[in-house]
Amino acid sequence: MEINNQNQCVPYNCLSNPKEIILGEERLETGNTVADISLGLINFLYSNFVPGGGFIVGLLELIWGFIGPSQWDIFLAQIEQLISQRIEEFARNQAISRLEGLSNLYKVYVRAFSDWEKDPTNPALREEMRIQFNDMNSALITAIPLFRVQNYEVALLSVYVQAANLHLSILRDVSVFGERWGYDTATINNRYSDLTSLIHVYTNHCVDTYNQGLRRLEGRFLSDWIVYNRFRRQLTISVLDIVAFFPNYDIRTYPIQTATQLTREVYLDLPFINENLSPAASYPTFSAAESAIIRSPHLVDFLNSFTIYTDSLARYAYWGGHLVNSFRTGTTTNLIRSPLYGREGNTERPVTITASPSVPIFRTLSYITGLDNSNPVAGIEGVEFQNTISRSIYRKSGPIDSFSELPPQDASVSPAIGYSHRLCHATFLERISGPRIAGTVFSWTHRSASPTNEVSPSRITQIPWVKAHTLASGASVIKGPGFTGGDILTRNSMGELGTLRVTFTGRLPQSYYIRFRYASVANRSGTFRYSQPPSYGISFPKTMDAGEPLTSRSFAHTTLFTPITFSRAQEEFDLYIQSGVYIDRIEFIPVTATFEAEYDLERAQKVVNALFTSTNQLGLKTDVT
């Protein structure tokens, strides 16, 4: 629902900024363009990740035919502002010129593909596609190293990931269509080998560079933490979320539409702190803020309700504390109650704000105390919560709009339809003595992480195991490595991982191959169980050495030997594993839609060819298998 004061809304990063970040004498204003574009791309990758004309044209319309030099400059400026580092003029101009060149080449590539698709047996059009692919591939091989120029790797990261995404997409194109363009089998296999290798190369560079930039921003003061958290949030959206889709470009592993979920949380800024009221050293430290505000790794949860308590200082009333009720995936009746955040003030009666799986809160409009320079409290005076059918107000609405940092993923429809994130939780940073801080910080999950684990009969469905509703004793959720879209699970001894509830959509019974994405420090074995006997043994071959960091190459797939037929709409799964095994997700591959490539490459290729024979990319010819 739109409200009257929408046009007066103020970005979080305008008022929640304890210090101006200046590059030379110029203040960089980036707006939310980078978040808009990145979230639009993420929505596209989630919804349309099928090779063919639709995907190729979509990348052109969203990125390579839409973004010009001024927009690319904003991508660079966003990170420059965060890390207080200006890219030298030569390197900056070179990067933007290369991006323009790639845009121009990709437009030609798209036109050539469109012409060939209309007349796929025309020898001249097949040759033109080979020419355009070779030109595009060569240009990307040359350009991408220029987006990781020494000393500017962090500042260039958000454009690096866009170029990397484009390169993986055209390598997938040739892996699918190369034979019909006239390439021999050896060339197609070589380009597929390039694709699978570069998925790891590009992923590891993005994650390593992101971590490098984040470490540089670690500091001592609260103002340092605010910049640190802003970098983490903004680059999660513009870099890491996109990287999480890179494995799906492996066409032999994901030959049909694949449903991916992002389970990470991002945190908005602390309410405005007026440092003129007290020296910076009197505020909570960097480490105190990180500990109080950022939740430790946990199973994915969804907001059920807030109970908000109002406190006061002098004549000012503010959000003084709260409780959160939440639920885990697929278990709305088993509520989890948080400890009390802040204080149970009684200046006013408590206010309860509710949400549900079908009616999430997708936007907040906050009135922060910093709008009044005489207010001695750093906190929130009121918030409007917008859900998909109505709105609820704690005390009053305000101009500080969550959409400034987490805009809709689809601006062509109402925000209640096109929103990108759900409000998930709220944490709290409190200081009573000295400068009063009552810092409510909202955390958000991407809407792709659905409150039910639905398995599609026509797509490969990826469900992160962190969406289990119960964590077994001895199992733990650990921080994800940055490229999995969220946290992962492991155990310190043999035993259960945790119970995952899934719902099968479509007509039953349905048969699926079951596959796991994992990493393991040794050759291990495990058992996959659900409510119907028998249980299924599964192996986890070694992928890494003990003590090594988790990288993209550390993760592999392991698959049950035979498909499983499910006749009930809802099932619960558990996985028994040994120590040293890390579980990212379970994948359900419909038997009627595909055939696991590693068992029968020729048959898999027939399925892939049939999948992309017509211009309708949404369905699969089931009679092929």
pLDDT reported for residue 593: 61
pLDDT in tens, 154-172: 999 999 999 999 999 999 9
Tell whether 296 is covered by a domain. Answer: yes
Helix (H) or strand (E) holding 572: strand 570-577
Whether 611 is covered by a domain: the verdict is no
* Element holding 536 (H helix, E strand): strand 536-540
pLDDT at res. 275: 61
Tokens 């009666």, residue?
A: 349
User: Where is the domain boundary, 222, 253, 284?
Assistant: 253
- Going by pLDDT thresholds of 50, 70 and 90, the confidence category of residue 606 is low
CATH number of the domain at 280, please: 2.100.10.10
Q: Which residue range is the domain that position 126 belongs to?
A: 48-253
Please give the distance of CA 128 from its chain centroid, rounded to a whole number.
36
- The answer to whether residues 342 and 288 belong to one domain is yes
Judged by DSSP in three states, 96 sits in helix
Mean pLDDT for 281-293 is: 92
pLDDT attached to residue 315:
86
User: Is the domain of 233 the same as that of 280?
Assistant: no
pLDDT band at 532 (very low <50, low <70, confident <90, very high): confident
Q: Is 229 within the bounds of a domain? A: yes
**521 and 403 share a domain?**
no
**Statement to judge: residues 388 and 479 lie in one domain:** no
**Which of these three, 194, 221, 253, is where a domain ends?**
253
Cβ neighbours of residue 193 closer than 8 Å, sequence gap 6 or more: none
User: Does residue 430 share a domain with residue 509?
Assistant: no
pLDDT at 39 over 90: yes
pLDDT tens-place string over residues 363-404:
999 999 877 777 778 899 999 999 999 999 999 999 999 999
Question: Residue 108 domain-assigned?
Answer: yes
Average pLDDT of the segment spanning 593-622: 39
Going by pLDDT thresholds of 50, 70 and 90, the confidence category of residue 432 is confident
Q: Which pTM value belongs to this model?
A: 0.91
> What's the confidence (pLDDT) of residue 401?
96
Q: Within a domain: residue 474?
A: yes
Q: What is the pLDDT of residue 375?
A: 73
Amino acid at 287: S
User: What per-residue confidence (pLDDT) applies to 463?
Assistant: 99
Whether residues 214 and 186 share a domain: the answer is yes
Task: Please provide the average confidence, as pLDDT, over all residues in the chain.
Answer: 89
Q: Are residues 186 and 288 in the same domain?
A: no
Of the residues 399, 414, 446, the one at which a domain ends: 446
* Cis previous bond, 350, omega within 30: no
The mean pLDDT of 324-344, rounded to a whole number, is 95
| pLDDT bucket at 433, cuts 50 / 70 / 90 | confident
Together in a domain, 468 and 326: no
Together in a domain, 271 and 171 = no
The pLDDT of residue 276: 61
What is the rounded CA–CA span in Å between residue 1 and residue 596?
45
For residues 85-112, give the mean pLDDT: 96
Task: Provide the pLDDT for residue 273.
Answer: 66
pLDDT tens-digit readout, 437-466: 999 999 999 999 999 999 999 999 999 999
* Residue 524 belongs to domain with CATH number: 2.60.120.260
- Residue 23 in any domain: the answer is no
Domain count, the chain: 3
pLDDT score of 400: 94
* 354 is a domain residue: yes
In a domain, 2, yes or no: no
371 near 363, Cβ under 8 Å?
Answer: no
Asked whether residue 191 falls in the same domain as residue 138, the answer is: yes
